[in-house]
Amino acid sequence: MEVDQKWYFSIQDVVQLLSDSSDVKQYLKRMLSKDTELNANQGTICTLVEMVAGDGRKRKIQAANTESLLRMKKSFQSLKRN
């Protein structure tokens, strides 16, 4: 979804695609607990953006722009190594 000339992507969708986890919410919690810098800056990295959910309703969903996703990529890689 494009907001303010930037593309935003659902964080849960991205985590689901990049991880082998069956529980995306638990994976995110574990990722944030292991990466203190990411956890401290979660409010600036993750933005609430109104998107159409799977049921067709508009909802505010945690999303990240491309720059933020690249920052989160470091945490994905370190969590996969452990």
* Cα distance between residue 48 and residue 77, in whole Å: 24
| Residue 24: CB atoms within 10 Å | 16
Looking at the structure of the chain, the number of domains it has is: 1
Name 64's bridge partners.
9
Mean pLDDT, the chain, rounded, equals 82
Strand positions, DSSP E, 1-82: 2-3, 6-10, 47-52, 58-65
pLDDT tens sequence across 39-49? 777 777 788 89
| Boundaries of domain holding 73 | 2-81
* Cα distance between residue 81 and residue 6, in whole Å: 31
Per-residue pLDDT in tens (0 to 9) along the chain, 82 residues: 656 688 899 988 888 888 878 898 888 888 888 888 777 777 777 888 999 988 999 999 989 988 888 888 777 766 665 5
* Cα distance between residue 61 and residue 21, in whole Å: 20
The model carries a pTM of 0.73
